[in-house]
Structure 1
Amino acid sequence: MPVPFITPTDFCARNFDYLVVGGGTAGLVVAARLSENENITVGVLEAGPASFLDPIINVPGRFGESLGTKYDWQFETTPQPGLNGRKLQWPRGRVLGGTSALNFMTWNRGNREDYDAWEELGNQGWGWDSLLPFFKRTESFVEPSADHQAQYRSYFTAEFHGTNGPVKTVYSKEYSVPHQFWHATLENLGVETNKSHFSGSNLGAWTTLTSVDPDTRTRCYSATAYYLPNSSRSNLVVLTEALAIEIVLEQEGSQNKWVAKGVKFTSAGKSFTASVSREVIVSAGSVQSPLLLELSGIGNPTVLEAAGITAKVNNPNVGENLQEHMMTAMVYELDPSIVGPDELRINAELAEAADLAYSTTQSGIRAMLPCALSYVPVSYIMPSQEFSNLTSRISAQIRSERDAVLAKQFCSNKRRGQIEYLFDVGNWNPYFKSEPGKVYGTMLMMLQLPFTKGSIHIPPKKASGSSTINDRPVINPQYYAGPGGKVDFEIMTLAQRFAENICSTSPLSSIIRTRAFPPAAAPAVGEEDFTEFVRNYTITDWHPIGTCGMGGLAGITTGVVDDRLRVYGAKGLRVVDASIMPLHICSHPQATIYAIAEKAASMILEDCKQ
């Protein structure tokens, strides 16, 4: 079903109560929920196209194929000294549905402590207990059969799941070969299977849910879950391929107070302005939400001046506090009888058979997703003395209340899953070239609670004039930089040892022939040193957050929005997406972003009644 057609001119002629900038994971949730009230008219501006029929988006087993395409903003970081000068690709969704149309469909939640940390910073209503109803509101969980639970360990506790939400969540019908060995392997290493990983603790090994429609076995994302069922509403108007370039801020009264009155955007090379009577809601993501605020005059005056932008609201926190899950990918050569997604890309006959199985029975490789996960405490992967030394260094590098709250998550009396491990078929490492005829599997290791903080800003102006949204953003994650970065690097290096231990432990080791990348080390005395591997081959896990973070008790001193997601210093302006998260979580962020948007929509509706 296509998006109802409207011209940019007709869009601007509408009387909108709310304008949502960004028809992505969060933006379409807010738009759908607000437009449930027929007396509220909502407009959505999305820079990318609508694409409901493309198999590289819809077919689960083709995850990753959309990266680097027209659906991807194709961002890139600055050279990172902590990565020996490397730049990293930073994919973000440029399509209706945003990054929920590009991600790998992993559906999980963080821990109770992750969200309680937000509330501890003074962000009332953002703890686990307050967020749980919104997690459940977004979800329509399909329970697996008893046979499926027994065979694949697809455990759950019903009370922690929603059953009537827009996003369908389901366990896969079947899994790749490594999955059948995952739980037993981790148990042999002392990591127990978690039978209730949605209940506020995801510690241990488990089979993850996916955001996939159980009937069609196609991707379920914000465009299909929240928009399509409501696209016929006359009070919900979506304009695709419309790039927001500035929030219209007007001065209110004699004092230096600003109020959002609309959004300037471009479409097909022409400029337009849409007006709004209540609020502008920025849901452009962790990269572009801070850029749009800066281009509108909200941010650090030094950054704005360099970009040729007139400062309206002085807030040096805009674009700061960037946090990202860092990842390494060790590649192993597997038993050649195993077939994975890589083989389908080079073998037309296998691909044809896989497509037939998927189209007729929604099964086979095209229906499979990586679902063998484990979250392990840092204290578990290193000797007690090393862990004690690490916690001392963590305490020594505390510079803010956020650092202090984060440091508590590493206390010896807390068992948190600060490291994620995931194994699946395929070569996921961009630095390793597969050899024809060989089958590979990849062990991914991801740091969940980084101390490193970076920034995202608009670039300095060029000779031709001020910076614009079309200029490449300055994305500087500061990987392994500063005191916090040294802690992250130490944890990553030590955690890499446990990744190798997993792959050397039976029964998973029974399908592994050898380590292909980094090449298997010669037998040595003591633990293998992964220092150079981590430095040279760390990549992004595609989970940036924090660039418009909630300020909590410290307010504008440390944040960009308050705990109702209102931008400090500007009336009628909110931010609703992953950028508002003040600290990272031990989880893939998709389900959390949906919950944030559900909560935001509820707050907006409450506020509009006042």
Structure 2
Amino acid sequence: MPFADPQTFAAIAFDYLVIGGGTAGLVIASRLSALPAITVGVVEAGPASYHDPLVTVPGRFGEALGGALDWSFETVPQPALHGRRLQWPRGRLLGGTSALNFMTWTRGNKQDYDAWEELGNAGWGWDSMLPFFKKTESLHQSSVTHQQTHQSYVTETDHGKDGPVATVHSKEYSVPHQHWHATLNSLGLATNTRHFGGSNIGAFTTLTSVDPASRSRVSSATAYCLPNIARENLHVLVNATVDKIELERHGNDWQAIGVTFSSGVQRFTAKADCEVVVCAGSVQSPQVLELSGIGNADILHKAGVSVKVHNRNVGENLQEHMMTAMIFELDPTLSGPDELRADPHLAKAAQQAYDTSRTGIYAMLPCALSYAPLAQVVSRDNLEQILSKLPPAAKSRDEVLRKQFDQKTRGQIEYLFDVGNWSPYYKSSAGKVYGTMLMMLQLPLSRGSIHIPTDTGREPTIYDKPVINPRYFEGHGGEADFEIMSECQKFADKICKTAPLSSVIRKRVYPPESTALSGGEEFRPWVRESCITDWHPIGTCAMGGHEGIESGVVDDRLRVYGVKGLRVADASVMPLHICSHPQATVYAIGEKAASMILEDREAGLGETRK
């Protein structure tokens, strides 16, 4: 592949430099370099791993976590979680987390995006975002027989037809998935046949970012980078880490003029004549800004970093989907990924099925999802009691978020079930088959932060892992999150006790069924000791909207406050979370960012400095 070498890369006169070859970064690089007059460079810290089966084979999802392709971040100890540190996987390879995630392709509710626009971020509501959702996607619709058998319904007009990312339903599904819709339907959650149309409430069989022919993962690397890597004006540098953004003073203004990066033991500087676009993700975008002198002056002073632009919001507003994993022992005739990892013979047979016909466990993904409004799983009295303890909203985004509790059209809780033990805290026993019921809070009130360390005894570098503090269940908002999750856990257990799903379940093993109390089961202690991350962090470089730099890091065109020629474009710019897995939304952010950059260039707002 014609990837750049660091010496040559540093000598190129770029128009645009993209920091991070991840989900959004490669979208932007692809769209900008489609114009031959624009020279684009991408700096990616990880390797290009197109052929690694841990990446490409759908049914091996999760195996790469914690390995060489994962940044392997972790949180600081969380007081409200009994001092536990939580693992925070992030993709460290070309394609970023789109090359490491579970390939789930969903879209949030109309109200999720309209809330962004309500905050003053023009052009970020549902109607404005929909064209970019479609632009990134190429839907491969299932046959009528598949739709009727697996409830794999979509409405063609909701989707794109010729975008770079192929989306498709799996050929086949696990036995629990086959019972999912009937079970949820009996509990009052109907099958949603149009969950990409602005409301994803109910049960559905989700699409996946998988190539329909090869049945291999589609990432931003395979969808946006590989088809365009031979362009003479696109230069992609892998295994190189950006140390900081180079800023230059022009009168009273700071201007981004390039980046300093490391490759091996050598350091280089690359120049950008138009813009630098930070696409390092919710963890590392604020880290890069702070190392460059953009952030809270108090933190930068303590870290020994020279302050260029003071902004207290860099690294703040961290929001994350919180998750519990309830484990059940299943019918022993079933099998899943755990059994393949434990038995080489089963793994060999599964690999042969995948290689020859693209079928079997290695071709399957967990696709049985359901989103429920709080009003459907928490009693009104309990919910009102929980919310009554919240203090007045401090910022407009908090006020907008709290409106969610009165909306029965938003699926604030996600439920997902499939074969396998997905809990880091329950140890499987040999010879037994397990299933996991995931319950995920979609619109958390907890607010955390990500910052560079201030206790290294020297000026920190990009190699010093950032301080990730989600503050799970802390403060008034966190206490409300805890109460809501504890209540919603009861419905998760109820799902698994309901036919026909219950027909394949032998018993609950985590938490053990012996914890039941006479007056109904109490899940509060277990939620506190078992809650984990859902790996969907957002908000650390959020759009400020009406409140500008008082509440955000970038404006609604993703331009960093106080610096010319610098934007951020990834999940970190989302001011509020969404009721959805974020992959499709991050792709759309990349598409919208590229469109805005080209619009500003044409309007003369992005003139070169040559």
Question: Contact 2:134 / 2:163 at 8 angstroms: preserved in 1?
Answer: yes
3-state SS of 1:327 partner: strand
SS at match of 2:175: coil
- Note the residue ranges of structure 1 that are not aligned, 5 or more in a row: none
Q: Which position in structure 2 is the counterpart of 1:399?
A: 394
* Deviation by residue 1:397-447 (Cα, 9 ceiling, x = unmatched): 522111100001111x53320000000000000000000000000000000
2:312 counterpart residue number = 316
CA distance in 1, matches of 2:341, 2:506: 22
User: How big is the shift at 1:370?
Assistant: 0.2
Tell me whether 1:90 sits opposite 2:88 in the alignment. yes
Percent identity of equivalent pairs: 64
Give 2:454's match in structure 1, choosing from 439, 449, 460. Answer: 460
2:231 alignment partner, SS class: coil
Q: Residues of 1 paired with 2:389 and 2:491: CA distance?
A: 21
Counterpart for residue 540 of structure 2: 547
Conservation of the 8 A alpha-carbon contact between 1:497 and 1:527: no
Shift of 1:382: 1.9
Q: Give the C-alpha shift of residue 389 in structure 1.
A: 2.3
Tell me which residue corresponds to 2:191: 193
Match of 1:431 among 422, 425, 440: 425
AA of the residue aligned to 2:265: G
Q: What is residue 496 of structure 1 aligned with on the other side?
A: 489
Q: Aligned residue for 2:246?
A: 248
Deviations 1:338-365 (A, max 9, x none): 0100000111111111000000000000
Does 2:403 correspond to 1:408? Answer: yes
1:530 corresponding residue in structure 2: 523
2:359 is the counterpart of 1:363: yes
2:350 corresponds to which residue?
A: 354
1:599 is matched with 592
Partner Cα distance (1:116, 1:271) in 2: 43
Report deviation, 1:169: 0.1
The answer to whether 1:334 aligns with 2:330 is yes
Per-residue Cα deviation, 1:551-585 (whole angstroms, up to 9, x for no partner): 00000000000000000000000000000000000
Residues 515, 521 of structure 2: 8 Å contact kept? no
1:561 aligns with 2:554: yes
Deviation at 1:524, TM superposition (A): 3.6
Deviation, 1:82, is 1.1
2:272 pairs with 271, 276, 280, which one?
276
Partner of 2:49: 51
Measure the CA separation in 2 of the matches of 1:453 and 1:388: 21
Take 2:455 and 2:345, find their aligned partners in 1: how far apart are those partners? 52
- Deviation of 1:393 (Å): 3.5
- The answer (yes or no) to whether the contact 2:104–2:207 under 8 Å persists in 1 is yes
**2:15 alignment partner in structure 1:** 17
Please say if residues 543 and 554 of structure 2, whose CA atoms lie closer than 8 Å, have aligned partners that are also in contact: yes
Q: Show the counterpart of 1:286.
A: 282
How far is 1:269 from its partner?
A: 1.1
- The residue type equivalent to 2:204 in the other structure is W
Q: How many residue pairs end up in the alignment?
A: 603
For the 8 Å contact 2:330–2:505, the answer to whether it is kept is: yes
* Deviation digits for residues 242-282 of structure 1 (CA, Å, limit 9, x no counterpart): 100110000002x2x10000000000111000001000000
Unaligned runs of 5+ in 2: 605-610
Worse-matched range after superposition: 520-529 or 101-110: 520-529
Counterpart check, 1:307 vs 2:295: no
Counterparts of 1:118-267 in structure 2, within 5 Å, are 118-253=116-251, 255=252, 257-267=253-263
CA contact (8 A) 1:397 1:483 kept: no
Let me know the Cα RMSD of the aligned residues.
0.9
Structure 1: distance between partners of 2:582 and 2:519? 37
State the TM-score, normalizing by the size of structure 1. Answer: 0.98
**SS of equivalent residue, structure 2 residue 160:** coil
Which residue identity does 2:599 align to in structure 1? E
Q: What is residue 382 of structure 2 aligned with on the other side?
A: 386
Counterpart of 2:607 in structure 1 is none
How much does 1:145 deviate?
0.2
Q: Is the 8 A contact 2:199 2:409 kept in 1?
A: no
Distance in 1 separating the partners of 2:418 and 2:137: 26
